[in-house]
């Protein structure tokens, strides 16, 4: 491969200290740049996901508290259920045991 005329010194003309901002569509002139075609879209999606993190943390905390409350109420539910069954057996079936 030979260098194209006028290509010499191209890197010296590029800004060295300032950041480059790209707006609009990117055009890629070599195969190595193909992975950069959707770079702006990927950055936008990642920024959106990062912005949603605090809301997701609040939701996770809320769901964890809800599961904890349900777990704690399980024992009370079992006692209530057994009491209902014992009362039903005593009053309706007239077949209560000593445990009832």
Report domain extents, the chain: 24-93
pLDDT, residue 44, reads: 94
For residue 3, give Cα distances in angstroms to 8, 10, 11, 32: 8, 12, 14, 18
Across residues 55-82, what is the average pLDDT? 94
Under 8 Å between Cβ of 37 and 28: yes
- The string of pLDDT tens digits covering residues 1-57 is 455 555 555 555 555 555 656 666 666 566 777 777 788 899 999 999 999 999 999
Cα-Cα-Cα-Cα dihedral sign, residues 83, 85, 90, 96 = negative
Cα→Cα distances 41→10, 21, 27, 62, 97, Å: 28, 14, 14, 32, 70
Query: In terms of Cα–Cα distance, which of 8, 6, 39 is closest to 21?
Result: 39
More confident residue, 69 or 16: 69
User: Residue 97 above 90 pLDDT?
Assistant: no
* pLDDT score for 58: 95
> Residue 19: what pLDDT?
60
């Amino acid at each position: 491969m030979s260098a194209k005329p006028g290509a010499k010194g191209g890197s010296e003309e590029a800004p060295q200290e300032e950041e480059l901002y790209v707006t609009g569509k990117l055009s890629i002139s070599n195969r190595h740049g193909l992975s950069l075609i959707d770079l702006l879209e990927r950055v936008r999606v990642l920024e959106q996901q990062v912005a949603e993190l605090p809301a997701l943390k609040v939701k996770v905390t809320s769901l964890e508290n809800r599961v904890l409350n349900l777990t704690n109420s399980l024992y009370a539910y079992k006692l209530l259920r057994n009491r209902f069954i014992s009362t039903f057996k005593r009053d309706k079936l007239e077949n209560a045991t000593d445990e009832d």
